[in-house]
Chain A
Amino acid sequence: MSFHPNDVARRARYASIGLFGAFLVLLGAFFKTQVLQNAQYVLQSETNRLREVPLPAPRGIIYDRDGRVIAENVPGYSVSMLSPTADSLRAVLRRLSGTIPLNSDQIDAAVRRYHRAPNRPTAVLSDAPFDVVSVLEEHRVQFPGLIIQSAPKRHYPDGAVVAALVGYTGEITEAELNARAFRGYKSGQQVGKGGLEKQYEDRLRGKEGTRFVEVDARGRVVRDAGARQDILPEGAQPLYTNIDLDLQRFTSGLFGDSLQGGAIAIEPTTGAVLALYSAPSFDPNRFIGGIPADYWRDLNNDPRRPLYNKVIQGRYPPGSTWKLATATWALENHIATLDETMPTPCTGGFQFGNRYYHCWDPKGHGNLTLAHAIEKSCDVYFYQLGLKIGLSRLIAGGVALSFRDRTGIDLPNESPGYFPYSLDYYNRLYGPRGYSSSVVLNLAIGQGENSQTVASMARFYTALATNGMEAKPTIVRKSEPDRTRIFTLDSAQFRGLRAALAGVVATGGTAAASQIQGIVLAGKTGSAQNTQDPLHTHAWFVGFAPADQPKIVVAVLLEFGGHGGHAARLASKIIEHYLKVAPASQVQTEG
């Protein structure tokens, strides 16, 4: 009998054992999942429900040497969107474009950002005007993934005055996100795009905070705050610069709207950059939160190239300002003395081989010493000095005086000087022996295969001002100046050279019109021929003052500005402004 009570009891035992077994298996599985793997699943469930909304950190404030603000942060708003899929993001943004101005390019850009980080809110407007924000707040219910966030916004109180040195910020691009230098950055963040903002990005960016919002399975924001403790953003430390904002404004004013070119003022003993201006300038404030397309187009189409930094990027034939390099090299190597005359006196030109080389002054300068040749900027003298030095040595001199290097100024995208590296340069260019030694004539007067940035010439003159100690131009304040000895003259030579430079700006010199009452100014003009416009030379002036104890080196370049005297007038005004407003104890002028 299969249904005998004993059989039934036996089967009941089996059934009970089966039930217990199943119970233990299930309980074991739950224990493993809930207790042993708890941490892993807690993390997954938090990832499910929380979305990290970045809280942008205020960028570091940039101050000038007296604590005046060059770059600051003002309150702004950013608009971003949380979305479960790219398609729904596109649909919501289309709907949004009926409420606020939003073109299809912006929508496409937002969708691209979404693909990069689908779990982060996608930035839609990184700088939304207040009226747009208030409209959005009104319609908030219709857009459940909408996140409006106060975001500090960069502001430059002096605008165009400081554009060339401070740069601007903008949203990180897709190319930058892929770059190794921007590891750790996230889509939608603001980064420095030029100038100090870019150079000191690491110090200026601060530490982004995070706000946690709770979303449901469809990506709708369910709880805006309190889902988890926010991580507050940490603002960056301020950046103190050597810039004299007053001088910077003054320099900018000198250029006005008509002049184009660049100017830099440096403290020769420290390399501290006092002012750096490139004209024409642009308003960096208009770049914040997305550059308006028409403004961007105008800037790019402007033949005067406002976006091109004429102090550190533009390279110009240095012209006569470079004669000091020739002279210094000759003096240091005892090829010539300051009193030395050349075999052929200047009669307005110089016959070399079958070509006649003009002096800038057709009237001629007669028989000159090196000191006078500097004062008068006599080409004929320097042609002969060049020949005396010889091409190979002159090239070696230019290289030794660091005319092939960047100045190392703390700004991005600086151009190095353009100068032959050796004779080999000519051999390659013209074929071996395919050039005459006449190239040395051009090189000696700062023409030919030589073009330098304004900053590079200013740096060379810091060495002239301090007897060979070249200072690296630095904008941000540093404890130790970075100086390199590039030549050594004996004290007589040095004094003589300085006197000659002072003679340039004295009565009878090439920049006699730029004298400053009570201050001895030393410098050199240059009128550099260029291929773009043969009729208008670039006007150069590089100089320092006071001549015997230099406090400021100024280099000014006016594109197509004609004679160097024009640049000298600007430079002397900059110097005058700087030295006159400086505290009285520091003014030590002759007489």
Chain B
Amino acid sequence: MDRRAIPDYPTVALALLLSIYGILMVYSAGQTDAPNVAQRLWHYQVVWLCIGLLCAFVVSRASVRLMEWAAWPTYLAVLCILALLPIFGSGAGTAASSSAWLTIHGHRIGQPSELAKLAVVLMLARTLAARKDAPKSLLELWQPALVVGIPWIFVFLQPDLGSSIVFIGIFFAMLFWFGVPWQLLLLVASPGISLILAFSTGIWTAWFLVLIALVWAYKPYLWEGVTVVLANVFMGIAAPLLWDHLKPYQRNRLLVFLDPSSDPRASGYHVIQSQVAIGSGGWLGKGFTLGTQKRLAFLPAQHTDFIFAVVGEELGFIGVTIALTIFLVLFLRCVRIATRANDTFSSLVAFGLTASWFVHVGENVGMTLNLMPIAGIPLPFFSYGGSFMLASWLAIGMLVRISGEGRGRADSLAI
């Protein structure tokens, strides 16, 4: 097909734009007054971008059918690696106490959970695409739930809260895209919502009434409805008990999310300093590489999790708007690719990859302003990290391929 010969240049250009923007910020993150580990990391990031571009090119040459075929082996391989991580894994950086890194002979190879996200998207797309129509009952969801659930448990136990949130995001987004009714998705999510809302009996009771109404309106199988309601009741009761079982740092993170000033010196410190960095940026920022919060080491993890605070501090509201706008345009374009895809599998893959990025951006950018609780989650194309850069560009490669095989000429679209 001649379409393969015309790659989706706008998508590549948007991703490249973000990558260059990101590398500039990684460079700036290394420019501090106190000696800093991040000083030369932008070199590596350039190298990883080149590797990513190469891989993306290779992937874009591979047929979507090949991707579909590769879903199973990739998924299994990823599961094996995740299962072995407690033995070979080690912590690093902001997640020093976890075992998220694949380590061989003391050399950290990479973070398999980044690859796992791609594998889960592929596998879930394959599983769903094999169906004739969308699941209409809870029982029919067992397959997708299993596909996401197994790696989710591994990642959650590492513990890598950020990636586990991404898995949940991918799960719901792809089910939505596949046409699962939103009522059903809400019923699936309801125990989790109950868990979160259980901190206030009043709010939880209100939610419970909404749920009852939903069950009554949606009319699931009787036993499913009963199960959902009971699960919600159980969560409402179990939440306080679960709270007691959280590790102190996890509990602090949630408390600090509700009120950062409750612990300004310790747990709240990151969020407060990040907000100060962003807020002091103003319209135009303090100038590239000149952010004082970053320079003087008040900003934590300035080259990884909190890199967007550097954007806010140094380039101001304008810089933030530019970055977020590029993300928005890229995502809208990806949704368009998913819409125009040639088959269900391609469409689901495209939407799943987009959802994964979206969760990353929403959570990462949100936490710099305390809109989200802190979870160690990188910003796509920005945060320093080889695995994620590679994974993101692999995803771009797949999207370019899907776009090329899709109906109509994607690059001639408005977005």
Q: Which residues of A are in contact with B by a Cβ distance under 8 Å?
A: 1-3, 7-9, 11-12, 15-16, 19-20, 22-23, 25-27, 29-31, 33-35, 37-38, 40-42, 44-45, 48-49, 214-218, 220, 222-223
Contacts and interface: CB of A to CB of B under 8 A. Distances in A.
B296 interface: yes
5 contacts: A11-B177, A30-B320, A42-B282, A48-B292, A215-B296
A2 B276 contact: no
Contacts of B332: 16, 19
B336 interface: yes
A48 B264 CA distance: 13
A11 B351 CA distance: 11
Interface string B106-145: 0000000000000000000000000001100000000000
A42 B179 contact: no
Given A12-B336, A33-B278, A42-B282, A3 B296 contact: no
B351 A15 contact: yes
Interface in B350-393: 351, 358, 362, 365-366, 369, 371
Given A30-B369, A38-B282, A1 B292 contact: no
B34 A44 contact: no
Given A8-B347, A19-B331, A41 B279 contact: yes
B297 interface: yes
A11 B179 contact: yes
Contact of B34 (A1, A30, A42, A218): A218
A410 B358 CA distance: 77
B205 interface: no
A42 B358 CA distance: 30
B178 interface: yes
A232 B312 CA distance: 34
Contacts of A40: 279
B338 A35 contact: no
Contacts of A11: 176-177, 179
Point out which of A3, A20, A218, A223 has the most chain B C-beta atoms below 10 A from its C-beta.
A3
Interface in B2-33: 33
A317 to B, nearest CB: 64
Contact of B317 (A8, A34, A49): A34
B282 A48 contact: no
A40 B276 CA distance: 9
- A-B pairs with lowest CB-CB distance, top 8: A41-B279, A2-B179, A45-B280, A2-B134, A216-B296, A217-B297, A12-B339, A34-B317
Interface string B290-306: 00110111100000000
Nearest to A30: B320
Contact of A3 (B320, B327, B344): B344
Contacts of B178: 2-3
Given A38-B281, A44-B279, 14 more contacts: A3-B347, A9-B339, A11-B177, A12-B336, A15-B335, A19-B328, A25-B371, A26-B371, A27-B324, A30-B312, A31-B317, A34-B320, A214-B292, A214-B296
Interface residues of B, number: 49
A40 B280 CA distance: 8
B262 to A, nearest CB: 17
B227 interface: no
Given A26-B365, A33-B369, A19 B335 contact: yes
Contacts of A35: 282-283, 317
Secondary structure dominating the interface of B:
helix
Nearest to A11: B177
Contacts of B190: none
Point out which of B180, B276, B351 has the most chain A C-beta atoms below 10 A from its C-beta.
B276
Contacts of B347: 3, 8
B328 A20 contact: yes
Interface in B255-278: 273, 275-278
A187 to B, nearest CB: 22
B316 interface: yes
A2 B178 CA distance: 7
Given A16-B332, A220-B34, A49 B292 contact: yes
A34 B283 contact: yes
B323 to A, nearest CB: 10
A217 B282 contact: no
A159 B283 CA distance: 61
Nearest to B134: A2
A30 B317 contact: yes
Contacts of A30: 278, 312, 317, 320-321, 324, 369
B133 A1 contact: yes
Nearest to B136: A2
A214 B292 CA distance: 9
Contacts of A34: 278-279, 281-283, 312, 316-317, 320
A472 to B, nearest CB: 56
Nearest to A35: B317
Interface string B306-336: 0000001000110011001101100110011
B133 A2 contact: yes
Contacts of A16: 332, 335
Contacts of B324: 23, 26-27, 30
Contact of B276 (A29, A45, A216): A45
A19 B292 CA distance: 32
A350 B276 CA distance: 91
Contacts of A23: 324-325, 327-328
A148 to B, nearest CB: 20
Contacts of B275: 33, 41
A368 to B, nearest CB: 86
B282 A19 contact: no
B298 A48 contact: yes
Contacts of A48: 273, 276, 292-293, 296, 298
Nearest to B132: A1
A44 B292 CA distance: 11
A38 B316 CA distance: 10
A153 B366 CA distance: 55
A41 B339 CA distance: 43
A45 to B, nearest CB: 4
A388 to B, nearest CB: 81
Contacts of B351: 15
A38 B278 CA distance: 9
Contacts of A22: 358, 362
Contacts of B293: 45, 48-49
Point out which of B280, B320, B344 has the most chain A C-beta atoms below 10 A from its C-beta.
B280
Contacts of B325: 23
Contacts of B282: 34-35, 38, 42
A40 B317 CA distance: 16
Nearest to B133: A2
Nearest to A15: B335
A45 B292 contact: yes
Contacts of A222: 33-34, 295-296
B298 A49 contact: yes
Given A19-B328, A26-B324, A42-B282, A217 B296 contact: yes
Contacts of B273: 48
A30 B313 CA distance: 11
A117 B295 CA distance: 25
A388 B229 CA distance: 112
Contacts of B279: 33-34, 37-38, 40-42, 44-45
Contacts of B177: 8, 11, 15
A7 B280 contact: no
A12 B337 CA distance: 10
A27 B365 CA distance: 10
Contacts of A216: 33-34, 295-298
B68 to A, nearest CB: 16
Interface in B165-185: 176-180
Contacts of B338: 8, 12
Contacts of A26: 324, 362, 365-366, 369, 371
A471 B394 CA distance: 98
Contacts of A37: 279
